[in-house]
Amino acid sequence: MNVTNFKYTLAYLASIIIANIAFSTLPMIELPYNQHIPPGTFLVGFIFVLRDFAQREIGNKVYVAMLIGVILSYMMADPFVALASAVAFGLSEVIDALVYTYTNKPMKDRVLLSSAVSTPVDSVAFLLMLGFFSWFGFAVMVVTKMIGAFIVWRMLK
């Protein structure tokens, strides 16, 4: 088994670990309207994109990698947010995978479309489960997560 055959899958799992470390160690960014956002949120968009590449690399076995990602998210998250983090991540990753799978568009478009569908689901599930939902916070989270998808989309274009 050659590790280079799984470079995107390994990058996907590593990105989940890095994002969780960022969530737990970096200070919150203050926003208007007494809102705060964790800097790790900016990394989440790249996680969705790396999952797309991992799926292209290993096909439906990506669901095993996603399950590992959910477990990692649960184990690494602050106990207060562990369940919300794992549920939001799992739900949005399944949606992302399904959109990616059933959209017969070029890779660059599937990356952007699957992220555009899954990032709002991730954000709303996470915020609602924690009882912190606000439209402003939701919008900021979606935009920050889409930055990664947009960057990759532009690179693939």
Its pTM stands at 0.84
pLDDT at 61: 93
pLDDT at 1: 63
pLDDT at 120: 95
β-bridge mates for residue 30, sequence order: 36
Q: Give me the tens of pLDDT residue by residue for the chain, a chain 157 residues long.
A: 676 789 999 999 999 889 888 888 889 888 888 888 888 888 888 898 999 999 999 998 999 999 998 898 888 887 777 888 889 988 998 998 899 889 988 988 998 999 999 999 999 998 899 888 889 889 988 999 899 889 989 998 7
Contact 99, 120 (CB under 8 A): no
β-bridge mates for residue 35, sequence order: 31
Distance CA 50, CA 73 (A): 16
